[in-house]
């Protein structure tokens, strides 16, 4: 009797935690999804302008040089950070078994973040961008973002401190690390580029280090935290190897801070720095492999779970994205061959999108499909909407990543053919650019479904049911959860509801 009582107690605590966090987490998810859609539209426009420069031309606010940075800013600061915040605060609360008492403050801070990002984006499109890649917001924005960030995450830090003593989950280490790394990187980069006057080329180097740090030391750990939580949770199996998990974490912590400067190979900065950056980026294949193998072996031990559960399927796709991304990091940074070819090509964009979408975003989608039913107490409305989201995103992102990486290589080969006039190299990108535009259209299509679905959930229009929305429908009630998709008119929990 006591173990059932224990599990009731547990379920109750979890339900209370979910309820306490409902408003801020739903806000971050939905608002993030809206920013994702905005970012993809901007990405579509800028990709179209690469092969059809007369598309929407003549307007200052839509010129490629402003639309493209706006696309990246919306993707990173609008979608990336907000999805990360939603997942971070929910995960830390659950894993530390603490309810959130500051939901109102977090929600307010989230609105401030939204406002700051909107102003920043309008600033970029209006011609007030700073010209520093990934730091294009007008310079008054970054302090606002930093303060807001602290207001959002400090409660998670506190929750960790007051957690009941005992086991610390690997996800908690990743979230704690991300919470420490991001402000350190953000403050350093913004101070050394905008506030303290240094050498202009070193400032460019620090901006490149910032870009790499954001990818590897904020988005990567948050995504890994989510997948290290989802994999055992949904399958019910233990993480494959704790040793591998530790190896993955510490190798990331030790290697990633050195990466980034390879963007400045050949520029007049201390000679060893770009090669150190290239070596570190290549070595980051190790944490990618460690985490990837660990999570895949955990989940693929129960393939039916991967088939059925949307969260798990998205997570596994994201982990495969991680492995591809890690390998691309190895492959693109060989100084004798690929580095000089891809340094100034489409491959850089492909690499960033691999990280931000095929790895980070897919895992965030997985986490969202898991978290939202719990905090809204409704199930997802439609299996088909989830499937559409999944498949169109997968097609789209494989196209974008592969085409950009390969196309960049071709472009780079053309660039290095110095005897030919430049137009030869410039025209090499045409077919790849067209492909990428089409791929973004697919991804936009998929995310429209996602945003719609999420909004309906936010409006509490999800299914009232005790049966989850799974990707595989079981006709005839052979699933342990009973016939999927039914609306219990007599109220859930009546008659044949199951308990775990």
Least distance between another protein and beta carbon 254 (Å): 5
Q: Count of residues binding another protein (CB under 8 A)?
A: 157
463 bridge partner residues: 379
Q: Within 280-299, which residues bind another protein (CB under 8 A)?
A: 280, 282-283, 285-286, 289-290, 293, 297-298
Fill in the per-residue mask, 86 to 105: x = in contact with another protein (CB under 8 A), - = not in contact.
-------------x-x----
The Cβ of residue 427 has, within 10 Å, a number of other Cβ atoms equal to 12
**Which residue number, 34 or 256, has a Cβ lying nearer to another protein?**
256
Q: In which element (H, E) is residue 414 found?
A: helix 383-416
Tell me if 355 contacts another protein by CB under 8 A.
Answer: no
Torsion of CA 99, 179, 75, 408, to 10 degrees: -140
Question: Is residue 313 within 8 Å of residue 366, measured between CB atoms?
Answer: yes
- Residue 279 binds another protein (CB under 8 A): yes
Binding residue for another protein, selected from 423, 476, 489, 490, defined by CB under 8 A: 423
304 binds another protein (CB under 8 A): no
Q: The tokens of 343 are what? A: 């340094």
Work out whether 60 is an interface residue with another protein (CB under 8 A).
yes
Of 73 and 363, which CB lies nearer to another protein in the complex structure? Answer: 73
Using CB under 8 A, which of 104, 270, 303, 431 touches another protein? 270
Binding span for another protein by CB under 8 A among 106-114, 145-153, 178-186, 392-400: 178-186
Site for another protein in 112-151 (CB under 8 A): 127-133
With CB under 8 A as the contact rule, the residue among 86, 321, 348, 407 that binds another protein is 348
- CA dihedral (204, 140, 216, 29) positive or negative: negative
Stretch that binds another protein, among 30-38, 105-113, 163-171, 357-365 (CB under 8 A): 163-171
Using CB under 8 A as the binding rule, whether residue 349 contacts another protein is answered as: yes
Residue 463 DSSP code? B
Q: Is 254 in the site for another protein (CB under 8 A)?
A: yes
Name the helix (H) or strand (E) containing 226: helix 220-235
- 63 CB contacts (<8 Å, ≥6 apart)? 57
Please list every residue from 430 through 459 that binds another protein, using CB under 8 A: none
Q: Which is nearer to another protein, 67 or 394 (CB)?
A: 67
Contact between 477 and another protein (CB under 8 A)? no
**Of 90, 182, 240, 390, which lies in the binding site for another protein, with binding defined by CB under 8 A?**
240
Residue of 309, 446, 306 lying closest to 373 (CA atoms): 309
DSSP-assigned letters across all residues of 55-114: TTTT-GGG-HHHHHHHHHHIIIIIIIHHHHHHHHHHHHHHHHT---S-HHHHHHHHHHHH
Nearer CB in complex with another protein: 53/143 = 53
Position 49 contacts another protein (CB under 8 A) = yes
> Does the protein bind another protein through residue 406 (CB under 8 A)?
no
Binding of another protein by 495 (CB under 8 A) = no
Cβ nearer to another protein, comparing 110 with 260: 260
Given the complex with another protein, which of 391 and 427 has the nearer CB atom? 427
User: Which region, judged by CB under 8 A, interacts with another protein, from 27-35, 382-390, 391-399, 411-419?
Assistant: 411-419
CA distance 61 to 204: 25
**CA–CA separation, 193 and 195 (whole Å):** 6
Could you please report the per-residue DSSP string of 8-53?
A: HHHHHHHHHHHHHTHHHHHHHHHHHHHHHHHHHHHHHHHHHHHH-T
Position among 140, 143, 150, 236 found at the interface with another protein (CB under 8 A): 236
Dihedral sign computed on CA atoms, order 331, 336, 338, 344: positive
Give the CA dihedral 186, 187, 189, 195, nearest 10 degrees: 140
Which of the stretches 34-42, 167-175, 355-363, 381-389 binds another protein when contact is defined by CB under 8 A? 167-175
Q: Spell out, one character per residue from 321 to 340, where the chain touches another protein: x when CB under 8 A holds, - when not.
A: ---------x--xxxx---x
């Amino acid at each position: 009797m006591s173990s059932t009582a224990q599990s009731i107690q547990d379920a109750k605590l979890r339900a209370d935690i979910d309820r306490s966090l409902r408003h801020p987490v739903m806000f971050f998810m939905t608002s993030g999804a809206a920013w994702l859609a905005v970012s993809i539209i901007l990405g579509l426009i800028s990709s179209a302008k690469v092969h059809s420069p007369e598309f929407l031309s003549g307007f200052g606010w839509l010129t490629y040089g402003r639309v493209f940075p706006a696309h990246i800013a919306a993707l990173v600061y609008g979608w990336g950070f907000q999805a990360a915040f939603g997942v971070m605060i929910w995960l830390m609360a659950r894993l530390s078994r603490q309810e959130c008492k500051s939901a109102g403050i977090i929600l307010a801070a989230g609105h401030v973040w939204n406002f700051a990002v909107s102003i920043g984006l309008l600033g970029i499109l209006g011609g007030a961008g700073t010209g520093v890649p990934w730091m294009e917001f007008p310079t008054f924005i970054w302090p606002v973002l930093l303060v807001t960030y602290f207001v959002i995450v400090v409660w998670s830090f506190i929750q960790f401190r007051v957690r009941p003593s005992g086991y610390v989950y690997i996800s908690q280490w990743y979230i704690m690390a991300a919470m420490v790394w991001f402000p350190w990187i953000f403050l350093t980069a913004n101070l050394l580029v905008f506030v303290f006057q240094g050498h202009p080329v070193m400032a460019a180097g620090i901006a490149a280090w910032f870009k790499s740090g954001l990818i590897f030391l904020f988005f990567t750990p948050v995504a890994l935290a989510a997948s290290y939580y989802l994999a055992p949770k949904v399958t019910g199996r233990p993480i494959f190897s704790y040793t591998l998990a530790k190896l993955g974490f510490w190798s990331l912590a030790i290697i990633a801070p050195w990466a980034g400067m390879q963007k400045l190979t050949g520029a007049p900065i201390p000679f060893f720095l770009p090669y150190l950056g290239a070596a570190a980026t290549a070595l980051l294949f190790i944490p990618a492999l460690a985490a990837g193998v660990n999570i895949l072996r955990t989940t693929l031990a129960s393939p039916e779970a991967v088939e059925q559960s949307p969260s798990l399927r998205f997570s596994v796709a994201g982990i495969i994205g991680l492995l591809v991304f890690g390998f691309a990091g190895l492959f693109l940074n060989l100084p004798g061959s690929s580095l000089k070819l891809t340094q100034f090509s489409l491959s850089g964009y492909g690499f960033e999108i691999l990280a931000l979408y095929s790895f980070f975003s897919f895992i965030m989608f997985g986490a969202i499909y898991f978290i939202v039913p719990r905090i809204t107490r409704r199930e997802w409305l439609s299996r088909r909407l989830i499937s559409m989201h999944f498949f169109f995103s997968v097609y789209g992102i494989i196209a974008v990543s592969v085409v950009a990486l390969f196309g960049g290589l071709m472009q780079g080969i053309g660039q290095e053919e110095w005897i030919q006039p430049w137009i030869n190299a410039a025209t090499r990108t045409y077919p790849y650019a067209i492909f990428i535009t089409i791929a973004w259209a697919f991804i936009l299509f998929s995310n429209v479904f996602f945003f719609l679905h999420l909004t309906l959930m936010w409006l509490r229009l999800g299914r009232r049911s005790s049966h989850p929305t799974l990707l595989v429908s079981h006709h005839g009630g052979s699933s342990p959860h009973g016939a999927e998709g039914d609306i219990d008119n007599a109220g859930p929990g009546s008659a044949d509801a199951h308990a775990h």
